[in-house]
Amino acid sequence: MGIALLYYHSAFYVVVLLILYHLLIRIPHFAATLNLTYFLEANRDHYQKHWIRFYVMPIFIFILFSTRRFFDPNHLYSKSLLSIGVIWAIKHIAFQNYGISNLYRSRSLAKKDQCLGKLEKLVFLGLVFLSVYIAMVKTWLSEPVNQSVDFYVRWGLIALIAVLLVTYFFRVFFINKTTPTSKPAVLFFLTAISVQVYWPIYDKIGEGTAVGGNIFFYVINGHHCLAYLGLIYHMSSNQYKGLSLSDGFKKYYSPILIGTFLLMGFVSLRWYWSGDGFSIGYGFKALSFLDGVFMVHYYLESNTWKFSSSHTRETLLPIL
């Protein structure tokens, strides 16, 4: 959000913030995925046994999405990949928020009330459908959608989400008299749904530009990345409990640091070589170099957190 707010004041500060954000928050989030995938010893035999799913498919996805930038953005192929990426990203963020919210509740007496979890899931699904609808309209329709249709679809989904939220908080108030509700769970749920909403104030900052979209992206992405890094830290702390500080650092931080500096190094080189130094416009273009990495991360985590798999339950549940 700070990047967008400083957009018109100093390009230098925006570039500095852009670098720091990706160096300290966004790219470490992708690098941290290594701790629960290829660097987790319990996964090695499983990955080798299912080598197509865990080695061939990630390479295929990386190549597919990394090469999208070489095509015309308005080409059917490019727009199709963009649509897949947007839908996958929205679903990925919403389901991570639901998972962490569910984890908070499971640590409290509120876990006895299954209704709260179902309501949270429905709210997140409603936000997914609303976000996907808005994104697909912008991506595929060159002409504005019929205003009455657009009005009923948007406000119908918003009304549904509002009803679910009212029901959720009524339920929290109702069960709190007999079963204390986890305050961290409710606070995280509130924060998670608030960052997934495109608030009107975003468009008032730098009206007529893409600043509103940038604010929304950095708010929702920043929350998503920090929540995931916190979760990985929690799980790694459980996994490496009893190790010395130096050994724990090597086990937990080394993969993140190595992955972060490698990815950021590639981006920085492409940024510097692609145009007029470190400008904002070229910075965003340079980050498109990581599109393939982003999509591979979505794919890996969709497999990593699949609790219908007995391997996932045996591997992750003991350290959650």
- Per-residue H/E/C for 183-228: HHHHHHHHHHHHHCCCCCHHHHCCCCCCHHHHHHHHHHHHHHHHHH
Separation CA 266–CA 254 (nearest Å):
18
User: At residue 81, what are phi and psi to the nearest 5 degrees?
Assistant: -65, -40
* pLDDT, position 122: 94
Could you tell me the end-to-end alpha-carbon distance of the chain, in angstroms, rounded to an integer? 31
- CB contact at 8 A, 167 and 116: no
pLDDT tens for each residue of 155-196 = 999 999 999 999 998 888 877 666 677 788 888 999 999 998
Kindly state the DSSP code that residue 278 receives in the 8-state scheme. S
Q: In which residue are the tokens 């961290």 written?
A: 184
Separation CA 256–CA 34 (nearest Å):
8
* pLDDT, position 268: 72
282: confidence class by pLDDT, cuts 50, 70, 90: low
Q: What is the mean pLDDT of residues 276-305?
A: 77
Tell me the two tokens of residue 207: 């009206």
pLDDT tens for each residue of 123-163 = 999 999 998 988 888 778 766 667 788 888 889 999 999 99
Element (H, E) at 293: helix 291-304
Sign of the Cα pseudo-torsion (122, 128, 129, 130, in order): positive
Give me the domain span that covers residue 169.
2-319
* pLDDT, position 49: 92
* pLDDT, position 279: 61
* pLDDT over 90 percentage in the chain: 22
CA-to-CA dists, residue 153 to 73, 137, 146, angstroms: 27, 12, 11
Q: Does residue 25 surpass a pLDDT of 80? A: yes
Q: Does residue 266 surpass a pLDDT of 80? A: no
- Residue type at 86 in one-letter notation: V
Of residues 275 and 157, more confidence is placed in 157
How many domains does the chain fold into? 1
Q: In which residue are the tokens 């595929």 written?
A: 140
Q: Does residue 5 surpass a pLDDT of 60? A: no
Q: What is the mean pLDDT of residues 56-83?
A: 87
User: At residue 241, what are phi and psi to the nearest 5 degrees?
Assistant: -60, 135
Other Cβ atoms within 10 Å of 258 Cβ, number: 12
Q: Residues 198-212, buried b or exposed e (16+ Cβ, 10 A)?
A: beeebbebbeeeebb
Rounded to two decimals, the pTM is: 0.84
Name the most confidently modeled range: 28-32, 67-71, 211-215, 304-308. 304-308
110: confidence class by pLDDT, cuts 50, 70, 90: low
Separation CA 313–CA 309 (nearest Å):
7
